[in-house]
Homo-oligomer: A and B are copies of this chain.
Amino acid sequence: MSENSGGRRPADPAAVTVDLVIFTIRGDELCVLLIERGNAPYRGRLALPGGYVRPGENLDEAARRELAEETGLDGRRLHLEQLRAYGDPDRDPRGRVVTVAYLALGPDLPVPVAGSDARAARWEAVGPLVSGTTSLAFDHADILRDALERARARLEYTTVAAAFCMEPFTVADLRKVYEVVWGAPLDPSNFRRKVTRAEGFLEPTGGRRVLEAGRPAALYRRGPAKALSPPLLRSGDQVSR
């Protein structure tokens, strides 16, 4: 902060961590990378990957480092943005631990390389996790829910959906991202019209992809545009609430 009520009030020391919500699309499912905790508390329970912020490191750097450690890839290829901070006093039984959650989006990653440490990492489908019974460690279920909503909203107003696609990709690949993240089908024709006309979203590579059946699809790579305006709204987007 900046001020402690005139310098009188002592700070309550806290540990600061970053936690990562790494989303990818595998098949027809939105998946998140989880680790199985090897230590107390919540030993054996699934949790989001994360770790302490190290001295001299800022929050983004810590998140980027953890991302690289957890995925095995250098995380420079993935979209990474801060979600928000979580600091309930009892969110960690060991004491005051404030975590800064990050949202990472990436194309289908090779395999959850067991991190540099010994924790077992694996992809889990998000659907059953948020609506279901599986309970995550700490407040990670809340974080996951918030991250999912953030990701869904980001698809509306930005071009990050392309971050889920391995280049080069087709319009159908991109549409599948929207359908999987939003959990609803989209009209293929209208979707194509929208994204191909959004300046800077897609750049044609000139190539085509031939599938087992059907007309070959044109291939694209990510364009320079970050924002998407007008937005691509979820159809049944509540008119109010």
Contacts and interface: CB of A to CB of B under 8 A. Distances in A.
Given A240-B199, A240-B225, A241-B227, A99 B13 contact: no
A25 B2 CA distance: 24
A59 B52 CA distance: 19
A218 interface: no
| Size class of the A contact interface (CB-based, 8 Å) | 35 or more
A186 to B, nearest CB: 17
Number of identical monomers bound together in the oligomeric complex: 2
Interface in A1-50: 1-7, 9-19, 35, 37-39, 42, 47-50
A55 interface: yes
A3 B51 contact: yes
Interface string A99-123: 1100000000000000011110000
Q: Is the interface of A mostly helix, strand, loop or mixed?
A: loop
B88 A37 contact: no
Nearest to A58: B88
Interface string A68-96: 00000000000000101111110010001
16 contacts: A1-B17, A1-B51, A2-B48, A2-B92, A3-B47, A4-B17, A6-B117, A7-B39, A12-B16, A13-B15, A58-B88, A85-B85, A85-B98, A200-B240, A226-B240, A231-B231
